[in-house]
Amino acid sequence: MFDNLSDKLDKAFHILKGHGKITEVNVADTLKEVRRALLDADVNFKIAKDFTARVKEKAIGQDVLTTLQPGQLLVKLVKDELTELMGGDVAGVNLSGNPTVILMSGLQGSGKTTFSGKLANFLKTKKNKKPLLVACDIYRPAAINQLHVVGDQIGVEVYSEPENKNPVEIAQNAIKHAKANGLNVVIVDTAGRLAVDQEMMDEIARVHKAIQPQETLFVVDSMTGQDAVNTAKAFNDILNFDGVILTKLDGDTRGGAALSIKSIVNKPIKFVGTGEKMEAIDVFYPERMAERILG
Ligand code: GDP
């Protein structure tokens, strides 16, 4: 993951690491390289530009040119700034509801259903919760089946009403079912489309309003680069979601989404998906991700 960016930053810092003494020109050249690397990784232009400007300001403020190890100081400044850009601290999931209702949103293929299963499994095994998965995709019977397969794999009940074409009702009935059966987390998997469209947005907005989730999570495929940021913005405008799930980080992704999303929608990335298996879920650690990017 992030090999490209990491390699490029390594190269960019090489010149600084190798020299005891650096000049303002070195710093400017290196930051130019950092910016190019960020752009290559699909980071939004303005974010990359502001990013390097901030690092430069700090570097000058900290008198980077006169320190004993200017390269290391600059690496630290870049790492700290990357961490900040991706959210600073680790963000938790609000589990205060009774039951806690979590609404999953995102495009078809983003990994919503898979992640719903992973989250249910995580909450069951790591947080001792009793989750219920809810199939609210009324258009694709295959999506309902897929959630049942996932539920069977992890031993979590799946609520569905294959004959009901009203997702609001299904979600509300599922919450009643959870209450009646002592299940304390309800994870609602919704219908996605291949691209943002009005009907999908209206539908998920109706479900959101009716069930008032403690957590609305937006699932996005990290392989989709700049598009991930645009989709995040569209969903956030409608749902004002609480957090982002970045899936498929095990793939050949360049990481631009992780860097840009927080800045554009100002919402934390909470979890990442790192594979197709139910265990392939990680809490998102901004600092770890920044370290990984820097290599
Ligand atoms: P949905 O349409 O949003 O519900 O997406 P799915 O959950 O059906 O996922 C679409 C495809 O992506 C499936 O083939 C999943 O196995 C795969 N997938 C989901 N999450 C990940 C992940 O983190 N890594 C990888 N490699 N594949 C994933």
Probe residue for ligand 1, chosen from 276, 277, 279, 281 as the CB with the greatest number of ligand atoms within 8 Å = 276
pTM value is: 0.88
Pick the atom of ligand 1 nearest to 189's CA.
4
| Cβ pair 133, 151 in contact under 8 A | yes
Probe residue for ligand 1, chosen from 112, 114, 118, 248 as the CB with the greatest number of ligand atoms within 8 Å = 114
Overall residue count recorded for the chain in this entry: 295
Cα(110) to centroid(ligand 1), Å = 6
Q: ipTM value of the model?
A: 0.99
Residue in 230, 250, 232, 249 with CA at minimum distance from that of residue 241: 232
Cα(278) to centroid(ligand 1), Å = 11
- Residue 233, CA distances (Å) to 47, 58, 97, 229, 239 in order: 15, 30, 27, 6, 10
Which residue in this structure is represented by tokens 């403020």?
61
pLDDT tens for the chain, residues 1 to 295: 344 455 655 666 665 555 555 567 777 877 888 888 788 777 888 888 999 999 888 887 776 666 666 667 777 888 888 888 887 777 788 898 999 999 999 999 999 999 999 999 999 999 999 999 999 999 989 999 999 999 999 999 999 999 999 999 999 999 999 999 999 999 999 998 888 899 999 999 999 999 999 999 999 998 887 788 889 999 999 999 999 999 998 876 667 677 788 888 989 999 999 999 999 999 998 887 777 666 5
**DSSP states of 189-230:** EE---SS--HHHHHHHHHHHHHH--SEEEEEEEGGGTHHHHH
